Amino acid sequence: MEITYTKRGDYYYPDLALPPQPTGDIGRFGRMRKKYLKEHQPDTFALMLIENTLMQHLIDIDRQANEQIDLIMSQLAQAEGVTEDLKARNQLGWIQAMNSCLARAEEWVIQEIIMA
């Protein structure tokens, strides 16, 4: 890697620039993963910061977690018979069942993806 210098006054300063950062929202699960890495795997966290891979990792984790939640929720709802028919007959029961599916899906994602 070639380093160039710029002269300012009597001194030469290196022309350094950071590589471009990935853009995107790290979301709820990305923030949870960041906190987990910071508190429980500080060496990995520091290495990812140094290698400039942390932001992309957090964006990927958030995307993967949300995809898994959608998949698990649909599977749980299908297995438990939570259908549009139930929604039409008993809205509060449908909401309760879907919230139960969501809570279980999020718990699985936290244990298997965020804290892995």
Q: What is the 3-state secondary structure (H, E, C) of 50-92?
A: HHCCHHHHHHHHHHHHHHHHHHHHHHHHHHCCCCHHHHHHCHH
pTM of the model: 0.81
Extents of the domains making up the chain: 26-114
- Mean pLDDT for 6-31 is 90
Instruction: Assess contact for 77 and 96: CB atoms under 8 A.
Output: no
Q: Is the pLDDT of residue 1 over 70?
A: no
Q: Is the pLDDT of residue 63 over 80?
A: yes
pLDDT at position 23 is 85
User: Distance between CA 26 and CA 48 in Å, rounded?
Assistant: 15
Instruction: Assess contact for 14 and 3: CB atoms under 8 A.
Output: yes
